[in-house]
Amino acid sequence: MNPSRLLIAFACLAFLASCAPLQPGPAPVLACPKQSPAELSAYQNALGPLSDSDTLLCALAVLRQAQDSPLNRTALGSRLYLHLAERETDPRQREHYAAAGVKSAEAAFALGAKNDGAVHYYLAANLGLLVREQVTLAVQNLGRLAQEMRLAVALSPGLDEGGPLRLLGALYLKAPAWPDGMGDLDQALALLERAANEYPRHPINHLFYAQALWSEGDETHQAQARTAFSLGQKLLAEGDWGYSNAAWAKEFAVFAEEMGMEEAQSHLEPRSRANSRRFVSCAYCG
Amino acid sequence: MLKRLLTIAALLASCLTFAASQPEMIVVCYPGGSVNAADANAAMSSMLRVVERIGHWRENSFDSLFTTKTDECRKQMAEKNPKFAITSLGLFLALRDQNRLIPLAQPQLKGRTSEIYRVMVEKGQFQNLEELKGKTLGGTVLEEQAFIAKIVFAGNLDPASFFVLKPSNQAIRTLRSLAKGELDAVMLNQQQFDGLASLHLEKPLAVVFTSEEIPLLGVVADAAATTEAERGRFTKALAGMCDDPEGKKLCELFGIDAFAAADKSVFEPFIKRWTEER
């Protein structure tokens, strides 16, 4: 065990000590248009980052009321909860949505969706959000998180513009490294390079690849990291990413600051700049 | 070695009774570590808040300053002159005179308060250390070369001239490089050596060098800036930490059996060796 593991665990304990148990926020009162599962099925692919939250909540209400619908054997519910969670600014409500997304995916599995890569992917994405907010869960669920991501990579690597590659790569990048954990920069670089090259339209693919390159700590890789970062930033600025835009822009800004901060210290000890990781902040999926 | 050192930081804070309005700074040095300083300080802050609550200290009585950079550590130790710090054994030895440092507490892991460094090769490739002269040696522990030379090799070998050193911050990468023949040997600390079994390596490894038992170091104190009573109180609190209900959770989580008061006589041979080899 090294300090990275300790820091995670400390943060976890701090959370436990300072926070009351998670309580879901009050259920919103919505005036949802009457719609059938079949109607929802017809436009489900249009639901995403550009949809307003009420539309997503209404769609979820349809799913809840139609327990026997084939839609409940898909990743739709988990995906919608993820979109809600990602745009939510209240941490507790965000965790509530992410937890619901995990449960929705588990319910889909129970109905026979175990070979559906999308269900594994959105389960992992929601679980990643939970992990991000509650480090205790990170420690407890790291194995499961990795397993779901690996299944998603095996079954549907191209889903959501390389989302499974992006998520698993981020996990390898940000988890504690061997011998403390499953963190593995080599694996991270391979997955994130593939995500950036094969699915180049997604800004976060380039951001995460930039972070992995930066972790190498040498000037050559850092120059490549800046290039990847700039490309991702350009894609973010030029695209319409809806509600995802703010969260992604913030993540770009944080990493830009990190690069600047570390560059300022580079004259001291270049090798030590490497491996600047955050632990499992892989919520950038949709 | 800095295993469990941040744990000790929590314990450290629980034993202090600073009444000053300014937070008491705890400098945490982790040379070559793989932890982002901003994240580390944030986590340390969370940890210290827990400690303050447990110990009934005013919130924000303590603060931490974390760095993975050796030069930055030296600078902060010089500027802040912290009463207590968490350093590697190498940094403790290097900064001992400047900051009047004395070892206070050691973590006890699996019944041990010391560790062994090893040089590993692919089985059959090299039979002993002498055969590695001029060959490549990798490892994360090579960050502190003076420590490796004076303490791990006990001054019997200058690694910088004997080997072609290939420091890395990725332990697993060094082992992959060894398997691919890109490295001839790898130096592992105890934790890494113990973790080898989990890797299921295709080619077996062999040990060609084993260091003597080198003490784990946790918290150090500035002997001039702290009183004997402060240090004693602190050490006593550490010793009882793993019996405390909250502290027990920490200890179990990190696999720490207990915290032992540092026996100065254990460190004296290493201090002597460090000084003599200058």
Task: Please report which confidence band the pLDDT of residue B112 belongs to, taking 50, 70 and 90 as the band edges.
Answer: confident
The mean-pLDDT minimum among A16-20, A134-138, A207-211, B95-99 falls in A16-20
The pLDDT score that the predictor gives to residue A285 is 40
Quick check: B123 and B203 in contact, CB under 8 A? Answer: yes
Q: Please determine, for residue A275, whether its predicted confidence score (pLDDT) is greater than 70.
A: no
Task: Please report which confidence band the pLDDT of residue A151 belongs to, taking 50, 70 and 90 as the band edges.
Answer: very high
**In angstroms, rounded to a whole number, what is the distance separating the alpha carbons of residues B28 and B6?**
8
Q: For chain A, give the mean pLDDT.
A: 82
What mean pLDDT do residues B159-179 have?
94
Q: Please determine, for residue A7, whether its predicted confidence score (pLDDT) is greater than 50.
A: no
Task: Please report which confidence band the pLDDT of residue A256 belongs to, taking 50, 70 and 90 as the band edges.
Answer: very high
Q: Please determine, for residue A139, whether its predicted confidence score (pLDDT) is greater than 60.
A: yes
pTM for this entry:
0.78
What mean pLDDT do residues A58-74 have?
92
Query: What is the three-class DSSP state of B104?
Result: strand
From the list B168, B30, B140, the residue with the least C-alpha distance to A218 is B168
The pLDDT score that the predictor gives to residue B218 is 80
Q: Which of A10, A180, A214 to mutate to test the interface with B (most CBs of B within 10 A)?
A: A10
Q: Please, which residues bridge with residue A32 across strands?
A: none
- Residues of chain A neighbouring B53 (CB-CB closer than 8 A): 17-18
Residues 131-190 of chain A with CB under 8 A from chain B are: 176-179, 183-186
Query: What is the three-class DSSP state of B260?
Result: strand
**In angstroms, rounded to a whole number, what is the distance separating the alpha carbons of residues B139 and A182?**
18
The pLDDT score that the predictor gives to residue B1 is 41
The mean-pLDDT minimum among A72-81, A158-167, A266-275, B266-275 falls in A266-275
The pLDDT score that the predictor gives to residue B229 is 84
The pLDDT score that the predictor gives to residue B186 is 98
The letter for the amino acid at A216 is E
Q: Please determine, for residue B177, whether its predicted confidence score (pLDDT) is greater than 50.
A: yes
Listed by start position, the domains of chain B span 5-112+216-276, 117-210
pLDDT in tens, B4-36: 444 444 333 333 344 345 887 878 787 766 666
pLDDT in tens, A104-123: 999 999 999 999 999 999 99
Q: Which residue has the higher pLDDT, B44 or A94?
A: A94
What fold characterizes domain B5-112+216-276?
A: D-Maltodextrin-Binding Protein; domain 2 (3.40.190)
Q: Which of B7, B11, B47 to mutate to test the interface with A (most CBs of A within 10 A)?
A: B47
Same fold flag, B5-112+216-276 and B117-210 = yes
Nearest to B169 among A179, A261, A271 (CB): A271
The pLDDT score that the predictor gives to residue B80 is 92
**In angstroms, rounded to a whole number, what is the distance separating the alpha carbons of residues B141 and B188?**
7
Query: What is the three-class DSSP state of B59?
Result: coil
The pLDDT score that the predictor gives to residue A135 is 58
Q: Please determine, for residue A2, whether its predicted confidence score (pLDDT) is greater than 70.
A: no
Q: What is the CATH number of domain B117-210?
A: 3.40.190.10
- Residues of chain B neighbouring A5 (CB-CB closer than 8 A): 254
**In angstroms, rounded to a whole number, what is the distance separating the alpha carbons of residues B103 and B259?**
13
Q: Which residue has the higher pLDDT, B92 or B10?
A: B92
- Residues of chain B neighbouring A275 (CB-CB closer than 8 A): 33-36, 169-170
Q: How do beta strands B62-67 and B84-86 pair?
A: unpaired
**In angstroms, rounded to a whole number, what is the distance separating the alpha carbons of residues B97 and B275?**
10
Query: What is the three-class DSSP state of B90?
Result: helix
